[in-house]
């Protein structure tokens, strides 16, 4: 299958692994690759289900996985690297492609989740999709270090996932995200993200969309668009001000180095971006991520989450695609712990101001590798 864009074509190849899981390869060049490897031919049993938390009004996911066959990988085994030795298959093949997506072997949600057992509160099968998004075949790089062209492929692949998964009648919300670094629990360093396709709009997205819908109703315009305009006028927290996309530390940042990336136009999802917009989002994203890593000259651990319009079949004029990045550190060597105030009250506390932290990031010079200077425009002096 080939997907046309205003700029260049994206090639897509769908395969099925021996254990039944889906593998999708994306590339700017025609995709060629050796089969669809899997670490094990056995499908993992999943007794995944949701239980209702009646005090918080949210679903909690339980997924107790049972593995039929013991799998003891060698110490240097990287399941996200292209398979080099067919006797030790990884999750992705050797070959010619840029980005690989496959169904998670240990999913929290599953398209064929079994009946949910009864509990004291309502339960439901954990129907949904969990995919792994391998950004590149190179195990030693990072999303931010990839060329803008390649980040653009990642974003276009995620746009394709949004269209395909969001098109399912049982999927209400498609959320790409990345957990990066041991500080947020990730031991696999190969550059990759994940994607959860939920059967409901998850609580954090629901809260944000609710506020955006209120604003849209009252103003006939988008809350994020208004905030981006205000950030641009203020300028003190801007990290990237492109023609079509921006990156900034929001004035109400909860994490010290929190940054948001968004198209200027209120495009509801990655799939709604024009090619030029998507490319500028790639630039904004690359700028923010390179500034993170350049800040203390070491990879910054973070949680990064894409916010898009729900795919619940309803109109969402309030939605405006954006990426929220939550770096784990607040100072060199000082993690931000979520404790009583944050987890117990929902009140984030910071001993620094967003303006000061944005200035730290503004001072980090980055090279987008496009041979264009001054793209960042604002606040990098």
What is the contact mask toward its own copies in residues 145 to 184, using x (rule: CB under 8 A)?
A: ------------------------------x-xxx----x
DSSP H helical ranges for 186-342 = 203-219, 223-234, 275-295
Closest CB to its own copies among residues 16, 211: 211
Among the listed residues 6, 87, 315, 343, the single contact to its own copies using CB under 8 A: 343
Q: Report the nearest approach of its own copies to the CB of residue 216 (Å).
A: 12
DSSP element (H, E) containing 49: strand 49-53
- Residue whose CB is less far from its own copies, 53 or 298: 53
Contact pattern from residue 87 through residue 126 relative to its own copies, giving x for each residue in contact according to CB under 8 A and a dash for the rest: -------------------x-x----------xxx-----
Taking the least distance from each CB to its own copies, the nearer of 56 and 314 is: 56
CA gap 303, 362 in Å, rounded: 20
Tell me if 312 contacts its own copies by CB under 8 A: no
Q: How far is the CB of 92 from its own copies (least distance, A)?
A: 21
* 185 Rama class: left (phi>0) / alpha (psi -120 to 50) / beta: left
**Tokens encoding 192:** 């990759």
Task: Name residues contacting its own copies, limited to 120-149 (CB under 8 A).
Answer: 120-121
In the Cβ-directed half-sphere of 24, how many Cα atoms lie within 13 Å? 22
DSSP 151: H
CB of 32 to its own copies, least distance (A): 32
**Distance between CA atoms of residues 174 and 163, nearest Å:** 9
Q: Is 52 one of the binding residues for its own copies (CB under 8 A)?
A: yes
Among 7, 19, 58, 293, binds its own copies (CB under 8 A): 58
User: Of 9-17, 53-61, 156-164, 279-287, which segment contacts its own copies by CB under 8 A?
Assistant: 53-61
Choose the stretch contacting its own copies; rule: CB under 8 A; options: 23-31, 157-165, 246-254, 276-284: 246-254
**Beta-ladder partners of 56:** none
Catalytic, 192? Answer yes
Burial of 330 (0-12, 13-18, 19+ CB in 10 A): middle
From the number of C-beta atoms within 10 Å of its C-beta (0-12, 13-18, 19+), residue 58 rates as middle
Do 123 and 52 contact (CB within 8 A), yes or no?
yes
Q: Are 173 and 311 in contact (CB under 8 A)?
A: yes
With CB under 8 A as the contact rule, which of the stretches 12-20, 139-147, 285-293, 348-356 interacts with its own copies?
348-356
The residues in 254-283 that bind its own copies, with binding defined as CB under 8 A, are 254
Q: Are 171 and 311 in contact (CB under 8 A)?
A: yes
Q: Which of 97, 102, 198, 240 binds its own copies (CB under 8 A)?
A: 198
Quick count: other Cβ atoms within 10 Å of Cβ 331? 14
- Residue 359 as a binder of its own copies (CB under 8 A): the answer is no
Q: From CA 377, how far away is CA 361, in angstroms rounded?
A: 14
CA 154/CA 106 separation, integer angstroms: 23
Candidates 11, 51, 190, 286; binder of its own copies (CB under 8 A) is 51
Q: Which stretch binds its own copies (CB under 8 A): 27-35, 46-54, 148-156, 309-317?
A: 46-54
Q: How big is the site for its own copies, counted in residues (CB under 8 A)?
A: 74
Residues 206-225 contacting its own copies, CB under 8 A: 206-208, 210-212, 215, 223-224
Residues whose CB falls within 8 Å of the CB of residue 207, separated by 6 or more in sequence, listed in order: none
Q: Which residues are catalytic?
A: 192
């Amino acid at each position: 299958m080939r997907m046309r864009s205003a700029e260049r074509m994206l090639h897509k190849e769908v395969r099925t692994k021996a254990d039944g899981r889906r593998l999708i390869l994306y590339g700017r060049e025609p995709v060629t690759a050796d089969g669809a490897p899997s670490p094990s031919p056995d499908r993992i049993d999943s007794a995944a289900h949701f239980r209702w938390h009646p005090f918080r009004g949210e679903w909690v996911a339980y997924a107790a996985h049972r593995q039929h066959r013991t799998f003891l990988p060698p110490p240097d085994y990287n399941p996200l690297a292209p398979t080099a030795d067919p006797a030790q298959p990884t999750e992705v093949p050797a070959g010619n492609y840029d980005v690989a997506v496959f169904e998670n072997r240990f999913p929290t949600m599953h398209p064929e989740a079994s009946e949910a057992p009864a509990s004291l509160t309502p339960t439901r099968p954990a129907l949904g999709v969990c995919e792994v998004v391998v950004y590149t075949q190179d195990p030693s790089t990072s999303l931010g270090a990839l060329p803008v062209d390649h980040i653009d492929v990642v974003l276009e692949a995620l746009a394709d996932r949004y269209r395909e998964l969001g098109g399912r009648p049982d999927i209400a919300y498609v959320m790409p995200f990345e957990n990066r670094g041991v500080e947020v629990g990730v031991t696999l360093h190969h550059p990759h993200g994940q994607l959860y396709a939920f059967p409901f709009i998850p609580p954090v997205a629901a809260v944000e969309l609710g506020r955006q819908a209120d604003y849209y109703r009252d103003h006939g315009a988008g809350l994020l668009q208004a905030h981006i305009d205000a950030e641009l006028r203020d300028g003190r927290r801007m990290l990237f001000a492109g023609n079509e996309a921006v990156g900034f530390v929001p004035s109400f940042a909860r994490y010290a180095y929190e940054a948001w990336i968004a198209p200027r136009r209120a495009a509801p999802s990655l799939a709604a971006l024009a090619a030029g917009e998507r490319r500028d989002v790639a630039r904004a994203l690359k700028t923010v991520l390179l500034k993170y890593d350049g800040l203390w000259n070491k990879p910054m651990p973070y949680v990064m989450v894409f916010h898009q319009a729900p795919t619940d079949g309803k109109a969402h004029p309030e939605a405006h695609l954006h990426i929220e990045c939550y770096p784990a550190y607040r100072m060199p060597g000082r993690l931000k712990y979520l404790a009583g105030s944050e987890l117990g009250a929902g009140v984030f506390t910071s001993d620094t101001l967003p303006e000061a932290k944005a200035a730290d990031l503004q001072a980090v010079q980055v090279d987008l590798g496009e041979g264009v200077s001054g793209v960042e425009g604002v606040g990098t002096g």
